[in-house]
C-alpha cells in the first residue's frame, strides 16, 4: 500500500508546460545575446589597444631616431673640415626638414638627411653631401600628420634654416584594429631636440 501511494504521488507531479519552456528559452537567448555583445566589445577594445601599442612603439622609435640625428646636425662643423663640413639645417619647412651631419662619427663623411611625410608614411632620405645617389627608407606608416616647429638661438620660432638650432616635432599616428571593424584611434606624439653643434640652449637635450 505504501509503495502504491508513493507511485501515485510521483505520477501526479506536474512537469514544465510549453509556455514555461518558451519563456525560459527566451530568457536564455536574451542573456546569451548580451554576453556575446559584451564579449565582442571586449575583443574589439583589446584589438584596438594592441594596434595602438604596436603603432606607437614603431613611431616612437622613428621619432627617437629623428631627434637623435637632429641633435647631431652641423657636425662636423665647417671650422673643422672647411667646405666639406656640415652646414646644419638647409630646409626648414612645416612638414619637411633637411640637415647635414655625419651619421657615422667615426667617418669623415657628411650626409644630407631629410624627413618628410609621403601619404601616411614617414620617409627618411639620406644623400651623401656632394653626391647624387640617395637612399629612402620608410620608418613608420599610419602617420596622419607631421609638423616641425623651428627655434632660433633665443628659443624663438624661426623659418630661416641658417638660424635654426632647435626643432620641435609633432606627429599623429592612427592605430587601426582592422579594416573590417573600422576601429581606429589617433595617438599624438612629440619631442624637441637642439643641435649641439649649432647652439647651446639646452646641452642636455
28 domain residue, yes or no: no
138 domain residue, yes or no: yes
35 domain residue, yes or no: no
CB 52 within 8 A of CB 187: yes
Per the prediction, the chain carries an average pLDDT of 81
Query: Is the predicted pLDDT of residue 157 greater than 50, yes or no?
Result: yes
Query: Is the predicted pLDDT of residue 179 greater than 60, yes or no?
Result: no
pLDDT in tens, 92-115: 999 999 999 999 877 778 999 999
DSSP string, 34-69: HHHHHHHHHHHHHHHHHHHHHHHHHHHHHHHHHHHH
Look at residue 202 in the predicted model and tell me its pLDDT: 45
146 closest CA partner among 169, 176, 167, 125: 169
Average pLDDT over residues 15-43: 74
18 domain residue, yes or no: no
Phi and psi, residue 82, nearest 5°:
65, -140
19 domain residue, yes or no: no
Query: Counting beta carbons within 10 angstroms of the beta carbon of residue 20, is it exposed (0 to 12), middle (13 to 18) or buried (19 or more)?
Result: exposed
12 domain residue, yes or no: no
157 domain residue, yes or no: yes
CB 173 within 8 A of CB 140: yes
110 domain residue, yes or no: yes
Q: What is the pTM of this model?
A: 0.71
Q: Which domain holds residue 106?
A: 44-194
Q: How many domains does the chain have?
A: 1
Distances (CA, A) of 43 to 47, 99, 104, 107: 6, 45, 45, 51
Average pLDDT over residues 76-92: 84
Amino acid at each position: 500500500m505504501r509503495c502504491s501511494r508513493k507511485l501515485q504521488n510521483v505520477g501526479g507531479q506536474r512537469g514544465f508546460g510549453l509556455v514555461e519552456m518558451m519563456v525560459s528559452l527566451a530568457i536564455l537567448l536574451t542573456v546569451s545575446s548580451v554576453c556575446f555583445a559584451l564579449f565582442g566589445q571586449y575583443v574589439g577594445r583589446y584589438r584596438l589597444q594592441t594596434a595602438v601599442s604596436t603603432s606607437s612603439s614603431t613611431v616612437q622609435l622613428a621619432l627617437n631616431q629623428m631627434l637623435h640625428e637632429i641633435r647631431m646636425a652641423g657636425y662636423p662643423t665647417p671650422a673643422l673640415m672647411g667646405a666639406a663640413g656640415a652646414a646644419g639645417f638647409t630646409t626648414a619647412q612645416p612638414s619637411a626638414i633637411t640637415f647635414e651631419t655625419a651619421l657615422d662619427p667615426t667617418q669623415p663623411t657628411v650626409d644630407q638627411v631629410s624627413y618628410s611625410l609621403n601619404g601616411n608614411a614617414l620617409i627618411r632620405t639620406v644623400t651623401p653631401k656632394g653626391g647624387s645617389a640617395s637612399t629612402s627608407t620608410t620608418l613608420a606608416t599610419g602617420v596622419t600628420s607631421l609638423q616641425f616647429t623651428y627655434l632660433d638661438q633665443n628659443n624663438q620660432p624661426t623659418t630661416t634654416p641658417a638660424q635654426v638650432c632647435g626643432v620641435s616635432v609633432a606627429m599623429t599616428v592612427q592605430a587601426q584594429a582592422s579594416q573590417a571593424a573600422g576601429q581606429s584611434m589617433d595617438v599624438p606624439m612629440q619631442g624637441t631636440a637642439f643641435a649641439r653643434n649649432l647652439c647651446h640652449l639646452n646641452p642636455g637635450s
